[in-house]
Chains A and B, each alone.
Chain A
Amino acid sequence: MDHQNSLSLHEQSSYVKLEVCGISDHELSPKLTEMGLYPGRQIQIVFKAPFGDPIAIDIEGMMLSLRLEEAALIKVKRIG
Chain B
Amino acid sequence: MKISKVALVGNPNSGKTSVFNLLTGLNQHVGNYPGVTVDKKVGHMTLATDHKVSITDLPGTYSIYPRSDDEQVVIDLLNNPDHPDYPEVIIVVVDSANLEHNLLLFTQIYDLRIPVILALNMSDVAQRRGVEIDKLKLSEMFGGINVIQLNSRKGTGFDDLKKLLLDFKTSDSFYPFYSENSEAVLSNLDDPSAQILETEQRFKKIRKYLNFIEKKSYTASKSLSRKVDKVLIHPIAGYIIFLGILFSIFQTIYSVAEVPMELIDSVFFSSSHWLKEHLPSGVLTNLLAEGIIPGLGGVVIFVPQIALLFLFIVVLEETGYMSRVVFIMDKLMRPFGLNGKSVVPLISGVACAIPAIMATRTIHHWKDRLITIMVTPLMSCSARLPVYTLLIALVIPDVLILEIFNLKGIVLLGLYVLGLVSALLVAGVFKFLLKTDEKSYLVMEMPGYKLPYFKNILYTILEKSSIFVWQAGKIIMAISIILWVLASYGPGNKMEEAVSRVELPNNPTDQDDYESEVNSARLSNSWIGHLGHVIEPGIAPLGYDWKIGISLITSFAAREIFVGSMATIYSVEQDFNDGSSLIERMRSEINPATGLPVYTLASGISLMVFYVFAMQCMSTLAIVYRETKSWKWPFIQTVYMTTLAYLSALLAYNIFN
A21 and B63 alpha carbons, distance in the complex (Å): 22
A65 and B204 alpha carbons, distance in the complex (Å): 23
A33 in contact with B196 (CB, 8 Å)? yes
A23 in contact with B442 (CB, 8 Å)? no
List CB contacts (< 8 Å) of B204-253 with chain A. 204, 222, 225-226, 229, 233, 235, 238-239
Q: B residues within 8 A CB of A38?
A: 196, 199-200, 203-204
A52 nearest CB neighbor, chain B only: B331
Interface of B is mostly: helix
A66 and B444 alpha carbons, distance in the complex (Å): 7
- Stretch among B98-106, B270-278, B509-517 lining the A interface: B98-106
A47 and B239 alpha carbons, distance in the complex (Å): 15
A29 in contact with B323 (CB, 8 Å)? no
**Distance to closest chain B CB from A11 (angstroms):** 17
B200 in contact with A63 (CB, 8 Å)? no
**Distance to closest chain A CB from B505 (angstroms):** 68
B446 in contact with A34 (CB, 8 Å)? no
A56 and B439 alpha carbons, distance in the complex (Å): 20
List CB contacts (< 8 Å) of A55-80 with chain B. 56, 60-67, 70
B446 in contact with A36 (CB, 8 Å)? no
B445 within 8 Å of A by Cβ? yes
A30 in contact with B444 (CB, 8 Å)? no
A31 in contact with B445 (CB, 8 Å)? no
B229 in contact with A34 (CB, 8 Å)? no
Interface bits B327-349 vs A (CB < 8 Å: 1, else 0): 11011000000001000000000
B1 within 8 Å of A by Cβ? no
A65 in contact with B196 (CB, 8 Å)? no
- Which of B65, B193, B226, B330 has a CB less than 8 Å from the CB of A34? B65
B195 within 8 Å of A by Cβ? yes
- Which of A29, A39, A62 has a CB less than 8 Å from the CB of B101? A62
Number of A residues whose C-beta is below 8 Å from B? Answer: 32
A58 and B235 alpha carbons, distance in the complex (Å): 19
A56 in contact with B327 (CB, 8 Å)? yes
A62 and B104 alpha carbons, distance in the complex (Å): 14
A34 in contact with B199 (CB, 8 Å)? yes
A49 in contact with B330 (CB, 8 Å)? yes
Q: B residues within 8 A CB of A27?
A: 192, 439
Most chain B beta-carbon contacts within 10 A, residue among A25, A29, A38? A38
- Which of B62, B225, B235, B331 has a CB less than 8 Å from the CB of A54? B331
Which range holds the interface residue count of chain B? 35 or more
A23 and B233 alpha carbons, distance in the complex (Å): 28
> Known interface pairs A36-B101, A54-B330. Does A49 touch B233 (Cβ–Cβ under 8 Å)?
yes
Most chain B beta-carbon contacts within 10 A, residue among A32, A54, A66? A54
- Which of A33, A53, A56 has a CB less than 8 Å from the CB of B199? A33
**Distance to closest chain B CB from A20 (angstroms):** 10
A30 in contact with B327 (CB, 8 Å)? no
- Which of A23, A31, A63 has a CB less than 8 Å from the CB of B446? A63
A16 within 8 Å of B by Cβ? no
- Which of B229, B238, B340, B443 has a CB less than 8 Å from the CB of A35? B443
B200 in contact with A65 (CB, 8 Å)? no
B441 within 8 Å of A by Cβ? yes
A47 in contact with B196 (CB, 8 Å)? no
A28 and B222 alpha carbons, distance in the complex (Å): 28
A28 in contact with B441 (CB, 8 Å)? yes
**Distance to closest chain B CB from A52 (angstroms):** 8
- Which of B222, B229, B238, B331 has a CB less than 8 Å from the CB of A53? B331
B200 in contact with A31 (CB, 8 Å)? no
A10 and B95 alpha carbons, distance in the complex (Å): 29
Most chain B beta-carbon contacts within 10 A, residue among A40, A51, A62? A62
- Which of B63, B65, B446 has a CB less than 8 Å from the CB of A65? B446
A62 and B199 alpha carbons, distance in the complex (Å): 17
B327 in contact with A64 (CB, 8 Å)? no
- Which of A34, A61, A67 has a CB less than 8 Å from the CB of B63? A34
A37 nearest CB neighbor, chain B only: B443
A60 nearest CB neighbor, chain B only: B100
A63 and B443 alpha carbons, distance in the complex (Å): 11
A29 in contact with B192 (CB, 8 Å)? yes
A30 in contact with B192 (CB, 8 Å)? yes
Q: A residues within 8 A CB of B238?
A: 50
B585 within 8 Å of A by Cβ? no
A61 and B323 alpha carbons, distance in the complex (Å): 17
B67 within 8 Å of A by Cβ? yes
B222 nearest CB neighbor, chain A only: A61
B218 nearest CB neighbor, chain A only: A61
Q: List 30 A-B contacts (CB under 8 A).
A: A23-B196, A27-B439, A30-B196, A31-B441, A31-B443, A33-B195, A33-B199, A34-B104, A36-B100, A36-B101, A38-B196, A46-B226, A49-B330, A49-B331, A50-B328, A54-B331, A54-B340, A56-B229, A61-B222, A62-B98, A62-B101, A63-B225, A65-B323, A65-B326, A65-B443, A66-B443, A67-B330, A67-B441, A67-B442, A70-B442
**Which residues in A have some Cβ–Cβ distance to B below 8 Å?**
23, 25, 27-36, 38-40, 46-47, 49-51, 53-54, 56, 60-67, 70
Closest CB pairs A-B (n = 7): A63-B446, A50-B235, A30-B195, A38-B200, A34-B63, A33-B199, A34-B62
